[in-house]
Amino acid sequence: MQSVTHTFARRYEADPESVGRARAELARFASRAGASETLVDGLRLAVSEAVTNAVRHAYPLDPGEIRVRALVGEDGLEVVVSDDGCGVHRDRADDGGLGFGLALICELSDQVTMAPRSGGGTDVRMRFSLPASGSGAAVGRL
């Protein structure tokens, strides 16, 4: 029987090509952790939106990094997309962003929080319910 890793942690450059890589790698992780095809589809879209937001908004002047972490616990799958960029600004009318990405993330996840990081940047934390299984999944919080 193949062992399943119940944690995921990757770093990506804040560029558009990283969006697809993050989406695909996290979808494989979620599938191996027992997520349904429907949940994986929603997860792909939610993570794409969160990573795209970081790519577009976090580092307007300099290159940067985006971190994606995930943990399977007793209460589901938790995913955190983090950056060390300039933080969230409410006035985005000048950059063409209409704000639909965050609304979509909220619709696709069971719970979402967006918070500033103490050293700068933003954490987007998403929770997705998984079917109960006796897999002995790691328990914790990211």
| 35 close to 6: Cβ distance less than 8 angstroms | no
**Res. 79: pLDDT tops 80:** yes
Residue 14 DSSP one-character state? S
Element (H, E) at 132: none
| 141 close to 91: Cβ distance less than 8 angstroms | no
Question: By CB neighbour count within 10 A (0-12 exposed, 13-18 middle, 19+ buried), where does 61 fall?
Answer: exposed
100/56 Cα distance (integer angstroms): 14
Query: What average pLDDT is seen over the chain?
Result: 85
Domain boundaries, the chain: 7-128
Assign domain 7-128 to its CATH architecture: 2-Layer Sandwich (3.30)
Name which residue leads in pLDDT, 87 or 122: 122
Residue 136's pLDDT band, with cuts at 50, 70 and 90, is very low
